[in-house]
């Protein structure tokens, strides 16, 4: 059973049990993400993520988080190509970049545990990046991974603070995104977006506070990102054409 959308078999990283493990690149590096149509992102990712994905707010754990829509149908990521690669030139969210690692946090405990997906196809004992040296000491590569994981966690906390302030200012509204495919209009719901009219109507002191934190720029990056839904629809159209061509070609192979 997958946990956290993309992990199949999470275990805590252990210097004794995993001392001989290495991670090698796989032929289908992002196949693990092919069955999810949204991904959590940090607000710091908005300036780049907004160039490719509609980025929306979702309610989670008593607050709000940011998510990028990477597909329009259930269990389909339109940025994972048939060969398992990521769409060329498209932004790659940190949530996917950290795979097969993730930080686990015990309830009521301030410490974190690095976990690893044992189902990752690149795990082996022969080639790739070593996790530990022969003495069981973490390699510089693993130390860099841990810094990335901690940084991402901190950025996600900042994102929740950003979203919480927007909610407190009553700027978040039930979102509706419309797109057209084959001449037919469709609607996406189940998330929240910023009410731009209310944002513009905020007092000067509040706007300055948001701007000083860098959050006003994030708010407008989110609003601009909503326009990317039509580009998603074009990706879906291209995917459907590919699927149709493959089905048509299949009988000829026999």
With beta carbons less than 8 A apart as the criterion, state whether 42 and 156 touch: yes
pLDDT at res. 3: 43
Domain ranges of the chain: 10-245
pLDDT surpasses 70 at 4: no
- pLDDT 10s digits, 123-182: 999 999 999 999 999 999 999 999 999 999 999 999 999 999 999 999 999 999 999 888
Query: For the residues 39-56, what does the mean pLDDT come to?
Result: 97
């Amino acid at each position: 059973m997958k946990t956290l959308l993309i992990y199949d078999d999470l275990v805590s990283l252990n210097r004794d049990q995993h001392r001989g493990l290495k991670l090698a690149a796989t032929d289908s590096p992002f196949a693990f993400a092919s069955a999810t149509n949204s991904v959590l992102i940090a607000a710091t990712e908005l300036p780049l993520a907004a160039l490719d994905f509609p980025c929306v707010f979702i309610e989670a754990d008593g607050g709000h988080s940011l998510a990028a829509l990477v597909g329009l149908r259930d269990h389909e990521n339109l940025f994972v190509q048939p060969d398992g690669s990521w769409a060329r030139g498209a932004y790659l969210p940190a949530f996917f970049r950290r795979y097969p690692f993730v930080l686990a946090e015990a309830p009521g405990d301030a410490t974190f545990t690095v976990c690893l997906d044992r189902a990752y196809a690149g795990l082996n004992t022969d080639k790739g990046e070593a996790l530990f040296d022969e003495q069981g000491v973490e390699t510089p590569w693993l130390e860099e991974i841990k810094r990335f994981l901690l940084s991402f966690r901190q950025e996600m906390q900042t994102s929740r603070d950003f979203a919480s302030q927007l909610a407190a200012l009553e700027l978040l509204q039930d979102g509706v995104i419309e797109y057209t495919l084959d001449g037919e209009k469709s609607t996406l719901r189940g998330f929240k977006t910023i009410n731009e009219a209310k944002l513009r109507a905020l007092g000067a002191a509040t706007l300055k506070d948001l701007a000083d934190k860098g959050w006003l720029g994030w708010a407008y990056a989110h609003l601009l990102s909503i326009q990317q839904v039509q580009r998603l629809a074009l990706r879906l159209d291209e995917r459907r054409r590919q699927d149709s061509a493959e089905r048509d070609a299949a009988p000829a192979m026999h």
